[in-house]
Amino acid sequence: MKLWFDRFLKVIAVIAAVMVCWRAIYPVYSWHQKLTVTVETPDGPVTGSSVVAVEWSSSPKLLPDMPGAGHQFRGEATVVWLPGGRYLFALLPGSDFRALSVFAPDKMPKHSWAAIRAFLPAAARGSWSGGEIRTLTPDQYPLLVTFGDIDDPASVKLVDPADLEASFGPGYRLASITMAITNEAVTKGKVENVMEWLGPYPEPRLSPATGKASDIPFSRKVAQGDFIRR
């Protein structure tokens, strides 16, 4: 019995050593980023924000065309409550790259994997942002959407960040979208509180398939995972 137990402990020790070595060679880097959207309305400015967790992990390049890094994120889209019971959402896709492109665009020409991998240690320490709140340029904006009826996912509509009046009427203007690296907890519950139809999986689209190869409605191009990643 003792011999079996000793062997078991040795196996555990070997596994632990391999895991430590693996993480030393292929580390994981993570941070929390806060996206804040401010909208000018006829009633004055309104703001919404959301904190998303981003994780990048190094991995071996088994094939020449493999990137050598993986990335994922979790959190919610930023939602801004507007007058009249309407909402503006800044969607999640691109969250894994957004802070990197905002705070260090010169470090990542065309999302170069080599440049990203070299920069990740500083990113995870937060030393790259210096505690700065930076305003996004239009080419860094997330996709903005609203709903004709918040209870009808198929009523989702694309919002032009340069022309909020087209979606919400006179007096509406996008004032700013900013980003900061933060120690705040990941946002939970804001999106689910206003979108009770959200399911547990990210893949479903916001409307059924039409069977058409063209004239695809916008609602078929948006997924539930664009609003929440658990």
Q: Is residue 17 part of a domain?
A: no
- Asked if 78 contacts 37 with a C-beta cutoff of 8 angstroms, the reply is yes
Q: Is residue 69 part of a domain?
A: yes
Q: Is residue 4 part of a domain?
A: no
Among residues 38, 35, 79, 59, which one has the least CA distance to residue 182?
35
Q: Is residue 173 part of a domain?
A: yes
As for how many domains the chain has, the answer is 1
Residue 20: predicted pLDDT: 42
The domain in which residue 90 lies consists of 27-206+215-229
Q: Is residue 21 part of a domain?
A: no
- Upper half-sphere CA count for residue 203 (Cβ side, 13 Å): 0
Residue 54: predicted pLDDT: 92
Residue 123: predicted pLDDT: 65
pTM: 0.83
Flag whether pLDDT at 18 surpasses 50.
Answer: no
Write the pLDDT tens digit of every residue in 70-106. Answer: 778 999 999 999 999 999 999 999 998 898 888 877 7
Tokens 């801004």 sit on residue: 80
Strand 173-182, strand 134-135: pairing: antiparallel
Flag whether pLDDT at 211 surpasses 70.
Answer: yes
Q: Is residue 19 part of a domain?
A: no
Q: How many CB atoms lie within 10 A of CB 43?
A: 10
Q: Is residue 7 part of a domain?
A: no
Write the pLDDT tens digit of every residue in 24-35. Answer: 445 678 889 999
- What is the residue type of 61? K
Write the pLDDT tens digit of every residue in 126-136. Answer: 656 667 899 99
Q: Is residue 126 part of a domain?
A: yes
Rounded Cα gap, residues 30 and 96, in angstroms: 10
Residue 185: predicted pLDDT: 96
Rounded Cα gap, residues 147 and 156, in angstroms: 4
Residue 57 in tokens = 């992990």
